[in-house]
Amino acid sequence: MPQDLADVYRTTYRALVRFLYRKVWDAERAEDLAQEAFARALVHKPTNARGWLFIVAANMARDEARRAARERRHLTLLTAESQETVPPSDEALHAENEWAQVRTALERLTPRDREALLLWDSGLSYDEIAAQTGLALGAVGTTLGRARRRLVEAYEAGTKGEHVARG
Amino acid sequence: MSHVDDGTLHAYLDGELSPPEAQGVAGHLTQCPGCRGRLEEERAVITRATKLLGRAAPPDRELPPFRPGDVKPLARLWWKTRLPLAWAATVALALGIGMYLGGPSGTHRVPAADDLPNAAPARATAAAKPREPRADAAMKARRETVAALSMRDEIAAAPEGKRAAAKPAAPSISGTVSLGDGRYVLKGPSVSVDSARLLLDADPLEVPDLPIRGIYRARLRGYSAVVVVEQALDSSTVIEVISGRRAPIALEAAVATGAGVERVDTPSAGARALLGRNADVPAAVAPTQDVPPPSPLPRKARRPAADLFLDIRGPLSVDSLAALRRLLQPLRP
């Protein structure tokens, strides 16, 4: 791997996994996709590797989501038979519950707000977010502000809803 | 300066304003209690949002080594190794036959041609004297093959080791099907259902109701006939059902028991490497861990099903593969 891409790999790999994880919600898969994005960068040799990687990763995650939706139809039948898991501890249940609520809250955001927020959380700067999403640089702060507020609101609405449901 | 809007407050808190802009905002904040209050609100929102996102973050793992081999280079590797591998298979076969058939006197019986479709050129190689060009070619192919095999083992081992049990499917090399235990089925030419049936002397197995993408003849040590049925689970997932008939006398068994006792040293180190990692360990060769045939026995099979070796491979979890395995049925016309 050329030196510059090796540097990008060191500095950006985890960020890319973090970004992808919030799209595919599977750590293994996110890592695989990140590896694949770097392998493609090796072939394409983009000038701005970091930005390019996030664009490619976003596209791969979208394709992945479509494929997963198709596959789910086939595999429900197969996975239904193999449920021999140990009942998880309360703590694990709690963490899983929170994880699911954050995920739901994230999915309530508009695609543009979510994208900006995930990119920021993966370590991209406002400049990079603007280039990636097509937002004006001056609009990135507004978008992020709105995204953060809505994430918190959606999460809190979700937990409240759950308390009500539990009764 | 007029009041600061929310977007600018976020940019200010994120440290994304240029120094003069940031100074302007800071100056205004000192004079405007309203904006100061909003600043604290937005700061709390940012903290909260960051915390929430942290709860849905991937596990923090060490930076893995870059694996460019996961995408295209594997296919290239396979094209490079295909020829030496094919050579290796024939040479290994010939060596094995030489040791099995050739008595101490060194006479060679000629095996029936239909038993050994690929052995003809290699038989000559094995019988030839070392200095002849053919033998040189064989030596070269052998070296390349040994290198290719060890490379392939590395590829097979590296991701596995890294990701432990999480990834049940062994990495596949185009044109081969990994059995997950270091053995690879070499896929050959496409054949018709009838030919496959003739080869196996039984119906090859399939998962019913899935479209069949292709039926291939294949090779695997210890099996006289192997058929791979490729079936599409969906447009992007292909599974491979492998049916095989054991060789009447397994080659390795012959090397280990029949000829091995009196000529322990006969196979050179190179030949042992060629015969596979298992050549030194006959116990490991005995195919005991093969998947048993599915409970509904193929009714039409003309041979006892116990003779048939079965496995099913695909980019699915172990559980899914096991579920598919239970569905297997003989492929009917």
Q: Give the model's pLDDT for residue A86.
A: 63
Structural domains of chain A in order of their starting residue, each with its CATH number: 1-84 (no CATH), 89-167 (1.10.10.10)
CB distance from A142 to chain B under 8 Å? yes
CB distance from A95 to chain B under 8 Å? yes
Quick one: B139 and B85 in the same domain?
yes
B142 bridge partner residues: none
Number of other CB atoms surrounding residue A134 within 10 Å: 10
Quick one: B158 and B267 in the same domain?
yes
Q: Which helix (H) or strand (E) holds B28?
A: helix B19-31
Quick one: B278 and B208 in the same domain?
no
Q: Rounded to whole angstroms, how far apart are CA atoms B34 and B25?
A: 13
Q: Does B100 reside within a domain?
A: yes
Range of the domain at B329: 172-248+287-333
Q: What is the ipTM of this complex?
A: 0.85
Q: Is the dihedral of CA A127, A130, A133, A134 positive or negative?
A: negative
Say whether A102 and B324 touch across the interface (CB within 8 A).
Answer: no
CB distance from A21 to chain B under 8 Å? yes
Residue carrying structure tokens 């060596």: B95
Q: Rounded to whole angstroms, how far apart are CA atoms B69 and B262?
A: 44
pTM for this predicted structure: 0.46
Quick one: B150 and B135 in the same domain?
yes
Quick one: B136 and B270 in the same domain?
yes
Q: Rounded to whole angstroms, how far apart are CA atoms A108 and A111?
A: 9
Quick one: B132 and B240 in the same domain?
no
Q: Does B1 reside within a domain?
A: no
Say how far residue B235 (Cα) sits from the centre of its chain. 20
Q: Does B64 reside within a domain?
A: no
Is residue B35 exposed (0-12), middle (13-18) or buried (19+ Cβ within 10 Å)?
buried
CB distance from A155 to chain B under 8 Å? yes
Quick one: B244 and B255 in the same domain?
no
Q: Does B60 reside within a domain?
A: no
Quick one: B84 and B203 in the same domain?
no
Q: Does B226 reside within a domain?
A: yes
* Nearest alpha-carbon partner for A155 in B44, B38, B10, B48: B48
pLDDT tens-digit profile, chain A (167 residues): 566 888 899 889 999 999 999 998 888 889 989 999 998 998 888 888 999 999 999 999 988 888 877 776 666 655 555 455 566 678 888 888 888 899 999 999 999 999 999 999 999 999 999 999 999 999 999 999 999 999 999 999 988 776 665 54
What's the domain count of chain B?
3
Q: Does B62 reside within a domain?
A: no
Give the mutation candidate from B9, B41, B71, B327 for the A interface (greatest A CB count, under 10 A).
B71
Q: Rounded to whole angstroms, how far apart are CA atoms B180 and B186?
A: 14
CB distance from A57 to chain B under 8 Å? no
Q: Does B153 reside within a domain?
A: yes
Q: Rounded to whole angstroms, how far apart are CA atoms B9 and B93?
A: 75
Quick one: B25 and B147 in the same domain?
no
Q: Does B322 reside within a domain?
A: yes
Enumerate residues 6+ apart whose C-beta is below 8 A from B73. Answer: none
Q: What percent of chain B has a predicted confidence (pLDDT) above 70?
A: 50
Confidence of residue B96 (pLDDT cuts 50, 70, 90): confident
Say whether B11 and A140 touch across the interface (CB within 8 A).
Answer: yes
Quick one: B111 and B148 in the same domain?
yes
Please list every residue in chain A whose beta carbon sits closer than 8 Å to the beta carbon of residue B236.
67, 70-71
Quick one: B114 and B146 in the same domain?
yes
Quick one: B13 and B156 in the same domain?
no
Please list every residue in chain A whose beta carbon sits closer than 8 Å to the beta carbon of residue B328.
none
Is residue B99 exposed (0-12), middle (13-18) or buried (19+ Cβ within 10 Å)?
buried
Say whether A42 and B233 touch across the interface (CB within 8 A).
Answer: no
Chain A nearest C-alpha distance from B282 (Å): 36
CB B30 within 8 A of CB A139: no
Q: Give the model's pLDDT for residue B152.
A: 56
Residue in B closest to A142 by C-alpha = B7
Q: Is the pLDDT of residue B13 over 90?
A: yes
User: Which phi and psi (to 5°) does residue B128 adopt?
Assistant: -70, 160
